Structure 1
Amino acid sequence: MIKHSDLYLKPDIFKHIPSLVAGVSTRHGGKSQAPYYSLNLGVHTDDQTEIIQENISLLCQSLGIIPQQLARSFQTHQDLIWECHQPDYVSGYDAIISTQVNIFPTVGIADCCPVLLVDPVRKITAAIHAGWKGSVLGIVPKTAQVLLSKYQSQAKDILAYIGPCISVQHFEVGDEVAAQFPENSKQKLSDKWHVDLKKHHVLQLVELGISHIEISPWCTVEHNEHFFSHRKEQGLTGRMLAFAGFQS
């Protein structure tokens, strides 16, 4: 159940880790006016810059962190991964990994699928923005593979959260997009192809041996009163943030 006072959702899979700050924001509790009502965190939207910054501060305050600890990127729907060693706002990355405490990888979403990976043993976190292009390019397994290969995370230790995004019922795509997804990640509904982003990422993670996975039941289109939806609101909408990092 989401209340209109909830600035963010904390996944159940992370709730037993007190030093972890991880979750996905809602559209509630901010200062933005329509059509960005109300917790718009998208710095590249046409909302007022000072209001967006105020909203980011409100979210961070509720999380017990400060905006200067966020590691963010202008996202380009590719498969580039930023292994960040200091908080910043950069460009060109759709996945961000942190191996240090007090740095919080953060991605913006409004229908695309956010995936959070957490290794509580090695204190490593990753935030991934996976639209259909990034999903086809394998950004989720590629990011997980960096944790497994470069940072020696064990698949059994990794906790994964697949957050609110457009659901299979609402994600109708053309034949050329559907052709790029495996059969088990798409289905025909009323003679049109529909892609299941959540299922696609679950299958990719399971293939790597990652089995501790929580899948959000929320659809950004269907539950538009709680989340921004690029498709439902025809591009004129705000952005949520998905984030994960350890506090010292």
Structure 2
Amino acid sequence: MVEAVLIDLFSLPANMQNNFQDLLCTTLGTIQECSSITAPPVYVMCSQTEQGERNDEQELLPALKDFQALKKSLEVVRALTTTAALYTIKQRLDEKDLSTIKIILPAFRRDLMKVYIAQLFTAVYRFEFEDLHMASDCNNLLIAEPQPEGQARSTCDVELITSEIQIYLQSLPNLKGELTILRSSLIPDGIFLHGFTTRTGGISYIPTLSSCNLFSSSKRRDPQAVVKENLRRLANAAGFNLETFHRVKVDHGNVVCIMGKTEPDSYDGIVTNLKGVTIAAPGADCIPVLFADPVRKVCGAAHSGWKGTLLGVSMATVNAMVSEYGCNVKDILVVLGPSVGPCCYKLPQESAKEFHRIDPKCVRLFDSENPYIDLRRATRILLETGGILPENIQDDSVTDQNQNITFCTACHPDKFYSHFRDGTNFGTQIGFISLKD
């Protein structure tokens, strides 16, 4: 079922520009006769004229005189670029939590529009395309013929569209304040660049993703283009090079990638001794763990959820640093980033038993159906058992004198994302580290 309609009048052939009202009236008639729901929201996308925005209400009154129901749910969006218009409409769709959209547009704009959609939307949205019609009879629809110059535009370069999108997103203001990076005094600043992100200072606008979301997936509404812009702003603020940025490919396991060797299909740990290469691990309840050896000048990052914790992903990362780069385990520093705390996190009884075996203190209310789990304590115990010195581990049991790092993500909605708290459409923060040049 179509939940919304987008009429693309942004780049009509010249001979149709003067027939705006007639064309809109005809199209609205088609919607009213053919729509399976009553008065879906209708968005009309138009190019901004040099004279500025006209009075849309007055302009559309004649075209809407027979469509009062549609008039109440119709909005005209004028912008200088397709990106600006389409992104504005996306915001309207997200405000209403709409996902199924019919796009009515000139035939020559279809391939072009698909390129924009691929970059500005995710698989959460479903699109139907219909050619812009010149007749309102549902059984006798006439397709508008494009002008030759319009046909040429249908073969536009994808790189030009990408550039247009990037320029527009870069022009947007930060949301929820300035970008904030948490740093640990345990990791020597003279050798390593590192930090843990918070949720402020990006452009993501959906409440559970706002504002510096750093992960895009087919199940969330934040497109890759927005995540890339958030990451660009982080790189600028932190001082690392995006071209040498590598993030783990999460599988909730214990595989570790060695930078410079064949990259696994998926992995939750990554290590390197290459200067200027920034490595990162995500977290949105799971622990982003950073590793630094100031003696051998090696660093690592790991994503440790409950499954990865039980599989020993943190020690697997330590072992990779030792075996690949000759690190001494007693030189390795480990910092646990923001993650869900034992105050909030629960697991079913069967999974809780595995943490109880590591240490009974890792589980609270063990006899309940869903006991509380302390992922950080379990991680610390496994690291100490593997030879990491207790004083070389920072978690919530060892608070940084300069700044606390290991917050509970679920307890601080103003600072962090949380899958546990926010549900499916959650945002993601990261921990990152690199050897300085």
TM-score by length of 1: 0.91
1:88-127 equivalence runs, <5 A: 91-127=265-301
CA drift of 1:184 comes to 3.5
**2:243 is the alignment partner of 1:54:** no
Q: Would you say how many aligned residue pairs link Structure 1 and Structure 2?
A: 244
CA drift of 1:21 comes to 1.1
The verdict on how the C-alpha distance between 1:156 and 1:73 changes in structure 2, with shifts beyond 3 A counting, is closer
**2:419 is the alignment partner of 1:230:** yes
The verdict on how the C-alpha distance between 1:68 and 1:152 changes in structure 2, with shifts beyond 3 A counting, is same
The separation in 1 between residues aligned to 2:321 and 2:248, in whole angstroms, is 19
The separation in 2 between residues aligned to 1:65 and 1:39, in whole angstroms, is 17
The separation in 2 between residues aligned to 1:91 and 1:74, in whole angstroms, is 7
CA contact (8 A) 1:71 1:84 kept: no
The verdict on how the C-alpha distance between 1:139 and 1:147 changes in structure 2, with shifts beyond 3 A counting, is same
TM-score by length of 2: 0.53
CA contact (8 A) 2:179 2:202 kept: no
Q: Which runs of 5+ in 1 are unaligned?
A: none
Cα deviation 1:139-187 (Å, max 9, x = unaligned): 1111112222332211221111011100011111101111222224222
1:39-188 equivalence runs, <5 A: 39-44=212-217, 45-85=220-260, 91-181=265-355, 182=358, 183-188=360-365
CA drift of 1:79 comes to 1.1
Q: State the secondary structure of the residue aligned to 1:179.
A: helix
| Counterpart for residue 379 of structure 2 | 201
Larger Rg: 2
The separation in 2 between residues aligned to 1:217 and 1:63, in whole angstroms, is 19
The separation in 1 between residues aligned to 2:380 and 2:177, in whole angstroms, is 29
Amino acid of the residue matched to residue 142 of structure 1?
A
Amino acid of the residue matched to residue 175 of structure 1?
Q
**2:226 is the alignment partner of 1:34:** no
CA drift of 1:105 comes to 1.4
The separation in 2 between residues aligned to 1:135 and 1:54, in whole angstroms, is 31
Amino acid of the residue matched to residue 10 of structure 1?
R
The separation in 1 between residues aligned to 2:248 and 2:383, in whole angstroms, is 23
CA drift of 1:85 comes to 2.0
1:236-247 equivalence runs, <5 A: 236-247=425-436
The verdict on how the C-alpha distance between 1:243 and 1:145 changes in structure 2, with shifts beyond 3 A counting, is same
The separation in 2 between residues aligned to 1:219 and 1:91, in whole angstroms, is 30
CA contact (8 A) 1:75 1:91 kept: no
The separation in 2 between residues aligned to 1:73 and 1:130, in whole angstroms, is 11
Amino acid of the residue matched to residue 330 of structure 2?
K
Cα deviation 1:94-143 (Å, max 9, x = unaligned): 11111211111111111001111100111111100000111111111111
More strand by share: 1
| Counterpart for residue 183 of structure 2 | 10
Cα deviation 1:164-216 (Å, max 9, x = unaligned): 10001111110111122222422217934111011111111111221211113
- Aligned-pair identity (%): 27
The separation in 2 between residues aligned to 1:18 and 1:190, in whole angstroms, is 48
The separation in 2 between residues aligned to 1:122 and 1:148, in whole angstroms, is 10
| Counterpart for residue 388 of structure 2 | 210
CA drift of 1:58 comes to 0.3
More helix by share: 2
CA contact (8 A) 2:186 2:394 kept: yes
Cα deviation 1:6-36 (Å, max 9, x = unaligned): 421111212x332311111100110110231
CA contact (8 A) 2:245 2:277 kept: yes
Amino acid of the residue matched to residue 213 of structure 1?
I
Q: State the secondary structure of the residue aligned to 1:12.
A: coil
Cα deviation 1:205-246 (Å, max 9, x = unaligned): 111221211113400000121011001001211111111111
The separation in 1 between residues aligned to 2:264 and 2:433, in whole angstroms, is 17
The separation in 1 between residues aligned to 2:181 and 2:430, in whole angstroms, is 9
The separation in 1 between residues aligned to 2:212 and 2:373, in whole angstroms, is 28
Q: State the secondary structure of the residue aligned to 1:13.
A: coil
The verdict on how the C-alpha distance between 1:189 and 1:221 changes in structure 2, with shifts beyond 3 A counting, is farther
CA contact (8 A) 1:73 1:90 kept: no
The separation in 1 between residues aligned to 2:408 and 2:269, in whole angstroms, is 21
Q: State the secondary structure of the residue aligned to 2:325.
A: coil
Q: Which runs of 5+ in 2 are unaligned?
A: 1-175, 396-404
CA contact (8 A) 1:73 1:107 kept: yes
Q: State the secondary structure of the residue aligned to 1:74.
A: coil
The verdict on how the C-alpha distance between 1:70 and 1:163 changes in structure 2, with shifts beyond 3 A counting, is same
Structure with larger RCO (C-alpha < 8 A, sep 6+): 1
CA contact (8 A) 2:329 2:388 kept: yes
